[in-house]
Copies of this chain bind each other. A is one copy, B any other.
Amino acid sequence: MATKGTPVPVGYQGVEGAYSYLAVKKYFNNANVTIHNFTLFEDVAKAVQDGTIKYGVLPIENSSTGGITEVYDLIRRYGCYIVGEQCVKVEHNLMAWPGSKLDDITEVYSHPQGFSQCRPFFRQYPHMQQIPYFNTAKGAELVSKQKTNYMAAVTSKEAADIYGLEILAAGINANTNNYTRFFVVAAEPVKSKEADKITMVVSLKHEPGSLYRLLGYFATCGLNLLNIESRPIEGKSWEYFFHIDVSGNLNDREVKKALREIKQETIECKILGNYVSDKT
């Protein structure tokens, strides 16, 4: 990534303090970038496609709540390529306007996933109404604007700092081993010798055992299957695209062999990216 000259435009969905924002900060660390935020995941994918931004950072999976299926579909629809991966630890906190007390809180604003990740905490506080909001950090922004003592948000510590809120309960997510995995996407694929993970999307011939045989080519070539997510093919009821992550580099002999062989089972196979995996 360029560190001199014109800064590179990078985009994410949400507002400052969102987990997507933290992923951008972590991945682009000291790089010379300008950071742009968008309202929808789709806006980020569009901006990558039309060149408004060079890189988009989109959440693809949470270790507790699973794949963010909309993003899988957007990557296909807007022809994005995956050039990097970044994991961010999700640590939710209940935060409110300074001086508020836990017992005063009657309205909590967060993304539905935020609530579902903190289910046992909220079971202890049935008087707190859980109000679904655009994203977790936008909930914090709302609370900071209203300056009341009965509203709270559920989001990252960083958002509390950014919006001047006080943390009333820290680390309230049920699963303390909770990560969100982000893809860094671009309009063109990138080749890298260090890349060790391949994401592809395939549609299979409608024959019994086709998925089994597909996975067989990976297994016999020694590629480790890291993830598989099925997404419906629009207009064809109960037929699926498979988004598949395997270990390897596109220059490896075994990878080339596997990619040649799987053509026997696939109608379509597109390599969405070969990138350096985040080992955290």
Binding site for B on A (CB under 8 A): 61-67, 69-70, 116, 132, 174-175, 177-179, 181, 208-209, 211-213, 215-216, 218-219, 222, 224-232, 234-238, 240
Contacts and interface: CB of A to CB of B under 8 A. Distances in A.
A203 to B, nearest CB: 14
Copies of this polypeptide in the complex: 2
Contact of A208 (B67, B219, B236, B237): B219
Contacts of A237: 63, 177-179
Nearest to A62: B232
A35 to B, nearest CB: 27
Contacts of A219: 208-209, 212-213
**Is chain A's interface secondary structure helix, strand, loop, or mixed overall?**
mixed
Nearest to A132: B132
A25 B144 CA distance: 47
Nearest to A87: B237
Given A65-B69, A211-B225, 4 more contacts: A67-B69, A211-B228, A212-B219, A216-B216
A208 B177 CA distance: 23
Contacts of A64: 232, 234
Given A175-B235, A232-B64, A215 B211 contact: yes
A116 B232 CA distance: 14
A116 to B, nearest CB: 8
A162 B179 CA distance: 44
